[in-house]
With several copies, the nearest count.
Chain A
Amino acid sequence: MISIKNVNKSFGDHHVLTDVSLEIPKSNVVALIGPSGAGKSTLIRTINALEPINTGEIIVDGVSIHDKKTDINVARLNIGFVFQSFNLFPFLTALENVTISPMKVKGLSKEVAEKRGKELLTSLGLGDKFDSYPSRLSGGQQQRVAIARALAMDPQVMLFDEPTSALDPEMVTEVLDAIRKLAKDGMTMVVVTHEMGFAKEICDEIVFMAEGKIVERAAPDKFFSNPDTKRAQDFLSKVLNH
């Protein structure tokens, strides 16, 4: 479903992604973990071309994302993206946040868009928040609206960049539960996360990055019990040992 081939990316002099390659089959869930500055955000953002790349190729559902001939606005319909800081539209209600893109991009009628939007919000436990503005919602609720907003475009792939890092601890569960459900439904997903228990539980594969490179790829059990690389061992010892 997602095929990343020899991607290189730098900000000016600063090489941030070095020759990154990764295949993610349909319905697979991949956790992207690694220390701060490793390039996790940069990599996941190149998948829907929020970040341009220098060399290499990224193919999602058969479409070469960074090809100049690709209409990126069409390609992105297939790729949902959830940000660490939610990035809800603050002047729109929860429901409007979810319906604006189906209406303005896909040209759905208001009725159709709202019907689907309400379904999505309800399924994410926000059945009573249709008309709430983001500022009236807790962080966990905001992030679930953001997930609904991405799902409203019916993407084949969902990308999450630290979806729970900006949340108060007791709200982490509700967001992780939403992602869990998507995994169960067979959504193809890439999740940047620091929630190791969660990664272990729902992912098909752990991809460990450091300094712009993929250092280790492994099944979750293997990775958390017995990582191959010293770099991953160090990282895990720091993160798990509080």
Chain B
Amino acid sequence: MYSYDWSVITRNMDVFIDGALKTLEISALAILIAIPIGIIFGMGRISKNKFFRLISSIYVEIIRGVPLLVLLIWIFFVLGQFLKLGSYWGSIWGLAIFAGAFIAEIVRSGIQAVPKGQMEAARSLGMSHAKAMTYIILPQAFRRVLPPLASQFIMLIKDSSLVSVIAATELTLNAKNLVATSFRSIEVWTFVALIYFIMTFSLSLIIRYFEKRLLKSEA
């Protein structure tokens, strides 16, 4: 039977740490690109301009309809024909385009969740639609959008495990390689699952803390 040897973890701690940092780096860059994408297309989804609305819907629906794995492979091998992206930027852009569609929906519903009366009150005071958006609606949407945006970042950390298929170095790829040379799949994968859990769970605790504070400050 299998005999455990957990020393493989301690001896290769640097591999795990490097991988985890790379995972965070890729996820952070991806969300930084995804947020403007999401804001643009999220506002597009409720824009009065038919064409903009159509484009935004197509983007959101297609991206949300295709598995990330397939999207990453597609971006890397198909888009990669025309743009020289490389593994690193290919994976960041792949994740960003993917997350962007979800953020667009977050932004859209954040705006729509602001009660209708707010827009009516602003308009009744003589504000134009644009002014009402800028000064009244968006500041309120922003507060609503922050928590789901943070959750999206947690999702992204998990989703980034998939970029190992397009050869971008991060925690999962490092783990695969370590398993390939150490043959200690049980120990390595258990520890990798633990690292992901620690990263995402501690982040979600932080988010919950700030959410509570936000709720309190509004009461």
Binding site for B on A (CB under 8 A): 48, 50, 73-74, 76-77, 79-81, 83, 85, 87-91, 100-101, 104-106, 135, 146, 149-150, 153
- The answer to whether B135 touches A104, judged by C-beta atoms less than 8 angstroms apart, is yes
- The answer to whether B126 touches A87, judged by C-beta atoms less than 8 angstroms apart, is no
B219 to chain A, nearest CB (A): 6
- The answer to whether A76 touches B218, judged by C-beta atoms less than 8 angstroms apart, is no
- The answer to whether A90 touches B218, judged by C-beta atoms less than 8 angstroms apart, is yes
- The answer to whether B126 touches A74, judged by C-beta atoms less than 8 angstroms apart, is yes
- The answer to whether A150 touches B125, judged by C-beta atoms less than 8 angstroms apart, is yes
- The answer to whether B121 touches A89, judged by C-beta atoms less than 8 angstroms apart, is yes
B124 within 8 A of A: yes
Contact of A153 (CB < 8 Å), options: B120, B121, B125, B135: B125
B143 within 8 A of A: yes
B125 to chain A, nearest CB (A): 4
Contact of A77 (CB < 8 Å), options: B122, B126, B135, B143: B126
- Give the complex CA separation of A100 and B40 in angstroms: 26
Could you list 25 A-B pairs, sorted by A, with CB under 8 Å?
A50-B123, A50-B124, A73-B123, A74-B126, A76-B125, A77-B126, A79-B124, A80-B124, A85-B117, A87-B118, A87-B120, A88-B121, A89-B118, A91-B139, A100-B135, A100-B136, A101-B127, A104-B135, A106-B126, A135-B218, A135-B219, A146-B121, A150-B124, A150-B125, A153-B126
- The answer to whether B131 touches A83, judged by C-beta atoms less than 8 angstroms apart, is no
B76 to chain A, nearest CB (A): 43
Chain A residues contacting B126 (CB-CB under 8 Å) are: 73-74, 76-77, 101, 105-106, 153
- Give the complex CA separation of A88 and B140 in angstroms: 12
B128 within 8 A of A: yes
Chain B residues contacting A87 (CB-CB under 8 Å) are: 115, 117-118, 120-121
B176 to chain A, nearest CB (A): 48
Interface size class of B (residues with CB under 8 A): 20 to 34
Which of chain B's residues 81-100 have a Cβ closer than 8 Å to chain A?
A: none
- Give the complex CA separation of A80 and B143 in angstroms: 29
A20 to chain B, nearest CB (A): 20
Which residue on B lies nearest to A50, using beta carbons? Answer: B120
- Give the complex CA separation of A106 and B128 in angstroms: 12
Produce 1/0 per residue, B114-151, CB < 8 A to A: 01011011111111100100011001100100000000
B127 to chain A, nearest CB (A): 6
- Give the complex CA separation of A50 and B136 in angstroms: 17
Chain A residues contacting B117 (CB-CB under 8 Å) are: 83, 85, 87
Which of chain B's residues 202-219 have a Cβ closer than 8 Å to chain A?
A: 218-219
A29 to chain B, nearest CB (A): 19
Chain A residues contacting B140 (CB-CB under 8 Å) are: 89-91
- Give the complex CA separation of A79 and B126 in angstroms: 9
Chain B residues contacting A91 (CB-CB under 8 Å) are: 139-140, 143
What 7 additional pairs, Cβ within 8 angstroms, besides A90-B140, A153-B125? A76-B123, A76-B124, A87-B115, A100-B135, A100-B136, A135-B219, A153-B126
A-B CB proximity, top 6 nearest: A87-B121, A101-B125, A87-B117, A81-B124, A77-B126, A76-B126
Residue among A48, A73, A79 having the largest count of chain B Cβ atoms under 10 Å: A73
Chain B residues contacting A80 (CB-CB under 8 Å) are: 124
- Give the complex CA separation of A150 and B123 in angstroms: 11
Which residue on A lies nearest to B120, using beta carbons? Answer: A50
Which residue on A lies nearest to B131, using beta carbons? Answer: A104
- The answer to whether B123 touches A89, judged by C-beta atoms less than 8 angstroms apart, is no
Which residue on A lies nearest to B135, using beta carbons? Answer: A104
- Give the complex CA separation of A133 and B139 in angstroms: 15
Chain B residues contacting A88 (CB-CB under 8 Å) are: 121
B113 to chain A, nearest CB (A): 13
B112 to chain A, nearest CB (A): 16
Chain B residues contacting A104 (CB-CB under 8 Å) are: 127, 131, 135
Which residue on B lies nearest to A103, using beta carbons? Answer: B135
- Give the complex CA separation of A91 and B114 in angstroms: 12
Chain A residues contacting B121 (CB-CB under 8 Å) are: 81, 83, 87-89, 146
- The answer to whether B127 touches A73, judged by C-beta atoms less than 8 angstroms apart, is yes
Chain B residues contacting A153 (CB-CB under 8 Å) are: 125-126
- The answer to whether B125 touches A149, judged by C-beta atoms less than 8 angstroms apart, is yes
A165 to chain B, nearest CB (A): 14
Chain A residues contacting B131 (CB-CB under 8 Å) are: 104-105
